[in-house]
Amino acid sequence: MKGSLFLSLMQFALAKQTARERFKYVLLGMAFYPFLSRDNSARAKGGDDSTSSQAGDDIYPLF
């Protein structure tokens, strides 16, 4: 799972058209990797999308 996220991020960066953009997206990918990895894990377990302080509330159904 983590390996595939890393691969996705590299493919994502390499798909950019200029060297500057590719470099930017590699940096962003590295910076955001922990958050993306956590989001993916949470989704896989059926939990919240994010473990930030504003936890998701069940909103449906209302009655």
Least Cα distance to 1 among 47, 56, 39 occurs for 39
**Residue 48: how many other CB atoms lie within 10 Å:** 14
Question: Which one of residues 10, 36, 37, 41 is an interface residue with another protein (CB under 8 A)?
Answer: 36
# of chain residues touching another protein (CB under 8 A)? 32
User: According to the binding rule CB under 8 A, does residue 33 interact with another protein?
Assistant: no
Torsional class of 15: left (φ above 0), alpha (ψ -120 to 50), beta (otherwise): alpha
Does residue 34 interact with another protein by CB under 8 A? Answer: no
Residues in the site for another protein, rule: CB under 8 A?
8-9, 11-12, 15-17, 28-29, 32, 35-36, 39, 43-50, 52-54, 56-63
